[in-house]
Amino acid sequence: MDSPARPWPPPVGAYAEERELFRLLQNMLEELLIHKPDDPIQYMINHLKQNNDDAPRICVLGPPASGKTTVKIPNALWANLIQERLSNVDCIKQGWILEGFPENQEQAWMLQSSGIIPRHVVVLYAPDTVLIERNSGKRLDPFTEEVYHTTFNWPSDLLVQQRLVEPEDLSEQEISKKLLEYHRNFPGVFQIYQKVLRSINADQPSVDVLARVLTYVQTRHRSAAPFTPRILFCGPPGSGKSLQAALIAQKYSVVNICCGQLLKEAVADKTKLGELVKPYIDSGYPVPDNLVMKILAERLNTLDCVTNGWVLYGFPRDVEQGEQLQKSHIIPNRVFFFNLPYESIMERLSQRRIDPVTGERYHTTFRPAPTPEIQARLRQHPRDKEENIEKQLETYYRNVKELEDFYEDAFYVNADQDPHVVFEFIESCIIKPLPCKKLKSL
């Protein structure tokens, strides 16, 4: 039986609440005067979100009859409804508890793309036999729609007892079907929230369950990251790693390192290692890992990388390369895997074009050429042909599972959404805020 919800946070005195509101308004006005945003309302909402780190944001999940509430809303509507509700000032200021969502990985991605990122995820569990028994004892009052239970919550009123009926959708077959679906979908949800998820046994008195839940949600997650950020992006071609690396580097003044570009720079600078790499690049063959590691280690050990930190992408591509990084004491403290559907990858890459005259890049859908003259001279890079993209994807997917297991504390990013939404999620995963880049006065 579920315990009644308690208000969160506890009510405070009128004066303290008024003073807090005045402080928030004063801060927002100062920010508006400094930044002068195009959309002041949205800017204030974002400001409230960023400056209210103590407000709880909790998801409570679990199978049917585990003690959480289940609400059914069509997929086309629920994400918008939840986003609209949780963006209200009361939710931003006081926090929220979301029950029963997400039920699968797709819904978890939708939450993430809507900017709804829980700080704590509680999963209630119990043996299937217990859950089926709990459901079989439920009774419904058709007049009030109150739910009772033959064992845990039987009404004292005889009239109510006489009119109780058994819910139509709670047969043992239906519950078994729902449990099977839950067990099939839960691993995908776990992968998304594993860093903030706690499983709690619901097969015990509700008071004990509540105590364990409160103990967990009142804890603050600690960051294992040192002062200097070392960020690694992994993902298929076309997933947006280079753009996100550029955004991170621009905002936080970390060193942006693309492994492929680093090798080309070594060749262009005619270094000793660059001379060894040149034949491989000219012929289109993969550069041996030992040469890549030497160039990469040399760059990551330079003063700017050591003092400012770095964001790396393009290496490692498999678990052997990851192990070589570790042996060279190059250990990232934030690892992100970018996920993108096959169709989106093809759309992003196969439609890319380049102007051989200016070197400008275009996309037939997202950034078409401005004039027919430019359009006529555009060319497609051989690597962007579908057959070559498929080869790259085959290699990536063949190796990524082992690489994910190697970086077991990695975060998973839905890259099939607006780049700024992706960037906000990446920032949220860096629990300790990094020092923002200070602009030099002209």
> Which one has a higher pLDDT value, 262 or 52?
262
Confidence class of residue 44 from pLDDT cuts 50, 70 and 90? low
In the block, residue with structure tokens 């839960």 = 186
132-139 long-range contacts, CB within 8 A, separation 24+: 132/65, 132/172, 132/175, 132/176, 132/179, 134/65, 135/64, 135/65, 135/170, 135/172, 135/175, 136/170, 136/172, 136/175, 138/65, 138/166, 138/167, 138/170, 139/164, 139/165, 139/166, 139/167
Instruction: Report pLDDT for 269.
Output: 87
Q: What mean pLDDT is predicted for residues 138-151?
A: 85
* Cβ 391 vs Cβ 236: under 8 Å: no
Q: SS3 string of 215-243?
A: HHHCCCCCCCCCCCCEEEEECCCCCCHHH
* pLDDT tens track for 220-255: 665 444 457 899 999 999 999 999 999 888 888 889
What is the pTM (predicted TM-score) of this model? Answer: 0.55
Is the pLDDT confidence value at 297 over 60? yes
Over residues 20-45, the mean pLDDT reads: 57
pLDDT score at 113: 66
d(CA 209, CA 2): 9
Q: What is the pLDDT of residue 71?
A: 43
**Are 309 and 276 a contacting pair, CB within 8 Å?**
no
Q: For residue 256, give the nearest of 437, 61, 6 by alpha carbon.
A: 437
Model pLDDT, residue 231: 94
Phi, psi of 309 (to 5 degrees): 90, 175
In 51-127, which residue ranges form alpha helices assigned H by DSSP?
Answer: 75-86, 89-94, 105-113
The pLDDT score that the predictor gives to residue 95 is 79
Residues 6 or more apart from 269 whose CB is under 8 A from it? none
- Whole-number Å distance between alpha carbons of 48 and 215: 26
- pLDDT for 89 equals 62
At which residue do the structure tokens 């920010």 appear? 31
Residue with the larger pLDDT of the pair 383 and 320: 320
* Helix locations, 139-254, DSSP H: 158-163, 172-193, 206-217, 241-252
Residue 166 has pLDDT above 70, yes or no: yes
Least confident piece of the model among 85-94, 169-178, 205-214, 281-290: 85-94
Can you tell me the mean pLDDT for 251-266?
Answer: 90
Read off the pLDDT of residues 57-106 as tens digits, 9 standing for 90 and up. 777 777 775 554 444 444 445 556 666 676 666 676 677 888 888 888 88
Q: Average pLDDT for residues 157-177, to the nearest whole number?
A: 83
Percent of the chain with pLDDT over 90: 21
User: Of the ranges 269-273, 298-302, 334-338, which is most confident?
Assistant: 334-338
Q: Is the pLDDT of residue 32 over 80?
A: no
pLDDT at 262: 92
- Mean pLDDT of all residues belonging to the chain: 79
Question: Average of pLDDT values for 282-301?
Answer: 89
| pLDDT bucket at 406, cuts 50 / 70 / 90 | very high
